[in-house]
Structure 1
Amino acid sequence: ARRIVLVDRPGSAQTVLVLGSLALVERDPGWFRLLVANQILGGSFAARLMSDLRERKGYTYGIYSRLSPYRSAGVFSIKTQVRTEVGAPALKDILGHLELIRKAPVSAEELKQAKNTLAGRFVRDLETQEGLADAVLHGILHDLPEGHLDTFVQNVQAVGGEDVRRAAREWLRSENLLVTAVGDGAKIAAELAAFSSDPVVRVDENGEDIAVPEAAPAPAPAPVEAKP
């Protein structure tokens, strides 16, 4: 179930949105499918989220998604900062893009660009001694198979369009997200509630729960006089 935590900062002109969920570990055979799916969604300036929320709608200066590998699990996340008045529309569009990548085919050009970007970035990172040392250390700490550096580009390029949709259907599920919003609670709490399966958890900047007063009961209706 999708949950929302609101960190209340009264008077804030901006709302920071961070969405996240657990994902598979890097040594899982499906890692590269999810890596390419993430790249298409929000892994670069040319990705879908940036093209829509920044270039077309002007909601933000930047929005990216990320797939972070850890030993016990991966973490998928999306981060952005928007004007307070467009916080709810921005969140709606982000969730819409998650649904789109799960359901609609990926174009051949979009797939090619995403894979080439990932492969090129990887090759450039290995061109320096520091980058190579980091990659070797990373592989050891994450129990990656022997030869993983030699097969990375091949594994990325082997991902097809249906692979992307399959990974997105399994791991990029909007209903499993935890959404954290930092902003003016008085202005955004009610709008955010529409996107949460459970009541919005509202905390202050120290993480302490904020008691939200219950709405006053509606006044009793005036008695209706019987007409003769």
Structure 2
Amino acid sequence: MLNRQQAPDFKQVSTINFIQPEKKALANGVPVFTIFSGEQDLVRIEFIFDNVNWKVEKPLQAIAVNTLINNGTTRLTAKEIAEQIDFYGAFFQTEYTQDQSTVTLYTLNKHLQSVLPIVKDVLSDSQFPQHELDIYIQNQKQKLQVNLKKNDILSRKEFAHALFGDTAYGVDIQAKHYDELKREDLIGYFKAAYTPNNCTIIVSGKFDETGFELLNQNFGQHWEKSNAIKNVFNFSATGKQVIYKEKPEAIQSAIRIGQLAINRKHEDFPGLQILNTILGGYFGSRLMTNIREDKGYTYGIGSGISSLQQAGYLFISTEVGADVCAAALTEIYKEIATLKTTPVGEEELNLVRNYMLGSMLGSLENVFSHADKFKNIYFAGLDYSYYAKYIEKVKSITAEELLALANKYLTTDSFTEVVIGKK
């Protein structure tokens, strides 16, 4: 009989297999990476463009262009684009990050011939009609006005600006920046950034040679190149910063603490990810156990490490009752100090190992997930040996290594501490 009072034994994940892409190029040199899975008649095509020509006085150009890119061409209105894409059961979306802007098409394989010309029209001839820009400006200013009343969003803005200053990673967006958006600037940025020499295409799903030929017919020619300059930033540690914005009426205070750190390119990054998981990277973490489960100061608290192309940073974030903000800060620093002085126990370390390997395996649920894993390493200039080293590090890291990493990277005397509310 199965004893349901006894937990099953841990079984560590032994191997994780990745679907690696096939690389080709269009006639005009645009690299195309294809991750094939023929189980479903569905394909995702991502057109990824580096953000370029950063100007601090025009910080919204890249995000506005990415958001409005499908709002009208010489041939099609925004409504017509949406209706034609919808007619074929396809889905068209855009995404902006600090490093790149992406235009993504989801479609059935059999409709590629019909929907690719629409996407080509968007990527080569977007016009950014003034009335669409006016609506965007109005909506975004209203959204900003609402967000500036939210302590957690304010803490994110203050934290990013303290670490990264007036760059694409940290610029403090204000209402005036939306008022200063001009249609001619958007057209200029579009022509500079959305070009074949600034594009990488990643295709995942059921995509065969016929699909590639259709892609090449549409995007391998008659697509104007440019001489845009990819964004380049340099960051250095600023030392201890304490930013406190009091809101006397606040019921909760938003806390965000952290500092510049390494990114995925650094050999210590996998080890630091393990350390972060122990500190605040999963539900059973030390911060959650102490500050949520034991003290009851918050509904949730977590820590993370973000890897950007030109920087990395670690952070701890939470919202706590305004009356316990000071106590929560004390407990956060206490948990960091413990990681720097006391080795992690073997039982806890094994739990984290199994959690991280299980999460990695679970994240590879479909072909799109495999494509996302490829993007993580490709745009960091890495190859699949990164994941092999990551998995090996999770399996083999020792308490002594974690202690050394904690003392090397959790340098609280140079943390930036942001509190919005009361403390």
- Counterpart check, 1:88 vs 2:290: no
2:421 alignment partner in structure 1 = 183
1:45 alignment partner in structure 2 = 283
Within-5 A mapping of 1:62-211 = 62-184=300-422, 188=423
- For residues 131-183 of structure 1, the C-alpha deviation after alignment (integer angstroms, 9 at most, x for no partner) is 11111011111112343334432232121111111111010111111011110
**In 1, Cα distance between the equivalents of 2:353 and 2:305?**
15
Partner SS for 1:46: coil
1:96 Cα deviation from its structure 2 partner: 1.0
1:11 Cα deviation from its structure 2 partner: 0.3
1:206 alignment partner in structure 2 = none
- For residues 180-212 of structure 1, the C-alpha deviation after alignment (integer angstroms, 9 at most, x for no partner) is 11104xxx3xxxxxxxxxxxxxxxxxxxxxxxx
Q: In terms of Rg, which structure is larger?
A: 2
- Counterpart check, 1:11 vs 2:255: no
Q: Report how many residues are paired.
A: 185
1:90 Cα deviation from its structure 2 partner: 0.4
1:207 alignment partner in structure 2 = none
**In 1, Cα distance between the equivalents of 2:388 and 2:410?**
28
**In 2, Cα distance between the equivalents of 1:144 and 1:10?**
48
- For residues 77-128 of structure 1, the C-alpha deviation after alignment (integer angstroms, 9 at most, x for no partner) is 0001111110001001101111110111110011111121111111111231
**In 1, Cα distance between the equivalents of 2:365 and 2:393?**
19
8 Å CA contact 1:27, 1:145 repeated in 2:
no
8 Å CA contact 2:263, 2:306 repeated in 1:
no
2:268 alignment partner in structure 1 = 30
Identity %: 29
**In 1, Cα distance between the equivalents of 2:267 and 2:279?**
20
Partner SS for 2:282: coil
Partner SS for 1:60: coil
- Structure 2: state its 5+ residue gaps: 1-238
- Structure 1: state its 5+ residue gaps: 189-228
> TM-score with structure 1 length normalisation?
0.77
**In 2, Cα distance between the equivalents of 1:145 and 1:82?**
41
- For residues 37-56 of structure 1, the C-alpha deviation after alignment (integer angstroms, 9 at most, x for no partner) is 11111111100000000111
**In 1, Cα distance between the equivalents of 2:340 and 2:257?**
17
CA RMSD of aligned residues (A): 1.3
1:5 Cα deviation from its structure 2 partner: 0.6
**In 1, Cα distance between the equivalents of 2:399 and 2:389?**
20
